[in-house]
Amino acid sequence: MGVTEEAGKVGTAAMSAMSSQPLAIALLIINVGFLGFAGYVLGQVASNAAERNKTQMELIAKLVGDIRDCRGGFHPTPTPNKQVLPLPALPPVPTTPINDNINN
């Protein structure tokens, strides 16, 4: 006998045993439906996680490439008509404490 014939016999025996208990049959059907729904939801969650991981890996690879370019001294060539403005000078660092009343 094949597997499908044995599964059919088990199903038939379970249904004939529960034929006097319609609530048990309904509970069995609800449980099987819930297992199918849970499997579907978990499959969707797994596919979404895989897509998110793929997107994150692409972003990380791009960022690593950008960091390598910066560390290697890569500077984009300035456009001929673009004026580069100098940075403003930083204020001097104070040498006195900001608040003299801390210890008083």
Find the helix or strand (DSSP H, E) in which 87 lies: none
- The pLDDT assigned to 4 comes to 87
Confidence of residue 72 (pLDDT cuts 50, 70, 90): low
pLDDT digits (tens, 9 = 90+) for 5-62: 888 888 888 878 777 788 888 888 899 999 999 999 999 999 999 999 999 999 998 8
Q: How many residues does the chain have?
A: 104
Q: How far apart are CA 43 and CA 40, in angstroms?
A: 5
- The pLDDT assigned to 84 comes to 66
Reported pTM: 0.43
